[in-house]
Amino acid sequence: MLQSLSIRNVVLIDALDAGFEGGLSALTGETGAGKSILLGALGLAVGARAERTLVRAGADDARAIAEFELADHHPVAAILAEAEIEYDRAEPLILRRRLTADGKSRAHINDQPASVSLLKQLGETLVEVHGQHDGRGLMDPKTHLGLLDGYAGHAALLAACRAGWKAYADARRDRDELIASTQASQAEQDFLQHAVRELDELAPRAGEEAALAEERQFLMGAEKAASEFADAQAALSGEGGGMENRLNAALRGLERIREQIGEGAGEAASALDRAASAIDRALIEFSEAHEALADAERAFDVEPGRLEQVEERLFALRAAARKHGVEVEGLVDLRTRFADQLDAIEHAGDRLAEAENRLTAARAVYEDAASALSASRKASAEALAVAVGAELPPLKMDKAQIRVGVESDEQAGNARGWDKVAIEVSTNPGAPFGPLDKIASGGELSRFALALKVVLAGDDDMRVMIFDEVDQGVGGAVADAVGRRLKQLSRSGQTLVVTHSPQVAALADHHWKIEKSDDGQGGMRTTLRRLTGEERREEIARMLSGADITDAARAQADALMAVEA
């Protein structure tokens, strides 16, 4: 629901702020007062194409802000979510547009910068205008399919068709991808076979590069180790028997001293024992050092030619890795991947046959769903044409006919089926049917739209309905019929009507008057004023009698306002 509209510097409107409510709102005023300007300002706020001529003379820019209150399940919420625009459902949706005098435009949604195209998408979801020069909803054949589906109420059939199409599209994509990958693999088959053979012969192992590099480093040092071990052995052995002989000689000397002094030497004997124990430990450590040195020397006794073998293997692994553009550690996985590709080539025929079978089955399911949906549409199209046709005579279009054509093309399917829907009219007996915008006049187009919307009432998509002079060229009972249908339409939502008909204005829940006056600076300005009570009675009386309002006109206005729709 449109809650408010704020306008600044749009043509003759310097400043205007209006709040709106649900139900039927009538906008009246003298011809040329600026009703089209008001609608143009609303269009500016909801993303319609804007010319710089909208900017009031002498102003830098024109601005329009429209505020909407939305139901929880309004489709705008999904559009905002996809566009990543923050929106609190408990707060109103605010659309703001600024148009500069040089024609540049800026858009904001809830004070967040947005593209004008997004603003337009939201506007088309929020507002639908039908009038002398704006019947886009009906004149665009792309909308007719949605209108018919809304009337038919076959949501389950639509859902089945969408699901069937998705499954079919997925199966077709899988089949096509398999064909493409198979063709690419077959072109590389020779390369893959050769690469797998090479990698099988090389037989790389996980962690092998690090182990080989470590062993290579050891082997390169092992050659220098031999002379170092010889020097160490010489140092331990020494000349003339080395350190071990000298320690043994010293120990024997201490033992002879011990024999000579006997048992009663006291402190001297104790010192002698400590010295003998220390030499004995040194002999043990010396012996262990000999053994450890011999063990170490044996560990460095490497196989002749082992270094060359290690380097050859390491360089072969690294060469293979460079050739295939991977790390050495990736060679194992690379071999597996190449083998899988070869396997896919060998079994491509079987896999493709399975994919084709899945595609055929999915197509059959989709065709069943699309066929059922098409049958429902054709039955509903006849019922819709009859229902709308019944609304035409009271709207002074008793000679007009309407038909809803459903054309099926099984080769042009999509998620919504394979039907094209066209609503066509004939305004005179014997005249050919044709598109609404080619056959119907402006007033007739608005009344066709009104008739259609009344039939669809309750199944609408919650857009604000705006009718611009839908009552043009009619009066009396026909105007009353227009008003009653507008009133009926407004019960399921919000309807605004720009009207010159007192019968229509009298049935409105809310009444606004658009006025043009001198701005005090040699120019003109347009204002919008809400009418209630006596002011509303006077306006309806003016619409009945003209500039000279009579008591009879006032009495007739009272009678019109007393009528219940």
Whether residues 248 and 339 share a domain: the answer is: yes
In this prediction, residue 165 carries a pLDDT of: 97
What is the domain extent for residue 353? 157-374
The whole-angstrom separation of Cα 97 and Cα 7 is 10
How many structural domains does the chain have? 2
| pTM (two decimals) | 0.64
Of the listed ranges 54-58, 297-301, 383-387, 451-455, the least confidently predicted one is: 297-301
**Who wins on pLDDT, 485 or 132?**
485
pLDDT at position 348 over 60: yes
| Cα 449 to Cα 220, 482, 488, distances in angstroms | 93, 11, 14
In this prediction, residue 191 carries a pLDDT of: 83
In this prediction, residue 298 carries a pLDDT of: 64
The whole-angstrom separation of Cα 446 and Cα 132 is 7
Whether residues 444 and 330 share a domain: the answer is: no
| 324, part of any domain | yes
The whole-angstrom separation of Cα 3 and Cα 127 is 12
Whether residues 263 and 349 share a domain: the answer is: yes
Which of 90, 88, 127 is CA-nearest to residue 109? 88
In this prediction, residue 427 carries a pLDDT of: 84
Residues 302-334: tens digit of each pLDDT: 667 777 888 888 899 999 999 989 999 899 998
Residues 423-436: tens digit of each pLDDT: 998 888 888 898 87
Q: Which two tokens stand for residue 141?
A: 């054949």
Q: Are 135 and 446 in contact (CB under 8 A)?
A: yes
The whole-angstrom separation of Cα 198 and Cα 425 is 76
H-helix or E-strand containing 529? strand 524-531
Q: Assign 492 a pLDDT band (cuts: 50, 70, 90).
A: confident
Q: Assign 457 a pLDDT band (cuts: 50, 70, 90).
A: confident
| 124, part of any domain | yes
Q: Are 564 and 509 in contact (CB under 8 A)?
A: no
User: CB atoms < 10 A from the CB of 70, how many?
Assistant: 19
**Who wins on pLDDT, 191 or 360?**
360
Residue at a domain's end among 341, 374, 407: 374
Residue 269 per-residue DSSP state: H
CATH of the domain at 84: 3.40.50.300
Which of 495, 500, 493, 491 is CA-nearest to residue 469? 500
pLDDT at position 104 over 60: yes
Residue 407, phi then psi, degrees to nearest 5? -110, 125
